[in-house]
Structure 1
Amino acid sequence: MPKAMARHILVKTEAEAEQLKKRLANGEAFDVLAKKHSLCPSGKRGGDLGEVRPGQMVRAIDQVIFKKPLRTVHGPIKSAFGYHLVQVFYRE
């Protein structure tokens, strides 16, 4: 079964996600922004979701983790929880 290592930032609004994505593009550290802004408990770990398998995350996030390019910040991605920025480190 495939597995991947990813991290994410979860915020309430698309505008907030867009602003954080710009800050990441300008060189700010993902883990620092996740700790400060993410609403997900993973924010305390710098957004680290650990190793995930298909079906563990909501469908929209699953699609990014298992189909989109690695080491790119994807999003904002809307889910029932809010807006996500997702970065995938590896997948096997």
Structure 2
Amino acid sequence: MGKDSKPKDSGGKGKGKQAGGGSDEAASKGKGKARKSDGLGTCTYVKARHILCEKQGKINEAYKKLDDGWLGNGDKVPPAEFAKLAAEYSECPSGKKGGDLGWFPRGKMAGPFQEVAFATPIGATSAPFKSTHGYHIILCEGRKN
């Protein structure tokens, strides 16, 4: 890692600062909080729905339905439609409630699930990803401090 960080330091004084001069200031004041106007870096709670499947093939099938219906057209998936797919595909008990996880704070969910949930913009759907529990798709419905 030492080799990687040295070129970044020397390169950051040349190309990096020219390309993102304003973002360097924002990063030094809060690691990109100012750059992320949607609050991705600052929120404390996220409201989300998810689909959980044990097998990758099944989560990919659910994602394909989302992609064919909305995502492929650049649209956002309506929460009611996501809930229908969660009820059909999810193997989590929350599937009966349309995948609704309600509001949860940082630190409650494990590893990749938390990272994806807090990085997904409001109204957006994550790509399928793996956690210790299986494969997920997340729909972010809200965020607050």
Question: Could you state the TM-score of these two structures normalised by the residue count of structure 2?
Answer: 0.59
**Correspondence 1:1-92 to 2 at 5 A:** 2-27=44-69, 29-92=81-144
Q: Deviations over 1:9-35 (max 9, x none)?
A: 000122211111110122382111111
CA distance in 1, matches of 2:122, 2:48: 9
Larger RCO: Structure 1 or Structure 2 (Cα < 8 Å, ≥ 6 residues apart)?
1
Q: Which deviates further from its counterpart, 44-53 or 18-27?
A: 18-27
Rg larger in 1 or in 2?
2
CA RMSD for the aligned pairs? 1.6
Residue 6 of structure 1 contacts residue 90 of structure 1 at CA under 8 Å; is this kept in 2? yes
CA distance in 2, matches of 1:53, 1:8: 16
Secondary structure of 2:136's counterpart equals strand
Q: Which deviates further from its counterpart, 26-35 or 51-60?
A: 26-35
Question: Could you state the TM-score of these two structures normalised by the residue count of structure 1?
Answer: 0.89
Structure 2 segments unaligned to the other structure (5+ residues): 1-42, 71-80
Looking at secondary structure, tell me which structure has more helix per residue: 2
Offset of residue 51 of structure 1 = 0.5
Aligned length: 92
Counterpart residue type for residue 77 of structure 1: F
Structure 1 segments unaligned to the other structure (5+ residues): none
CA distance in 2, matches of 1:64, 1:79: 10
Identical pairs, percent: 37
Offset of residue 75 of structure 1 = 2.6
Looking at secondary structure, tell me which structure has more strand per residue: 1
Residue 32 of structure 1 contacts residue 46 of structure 1 at CA under 8 Å; is this kept in 2? yes
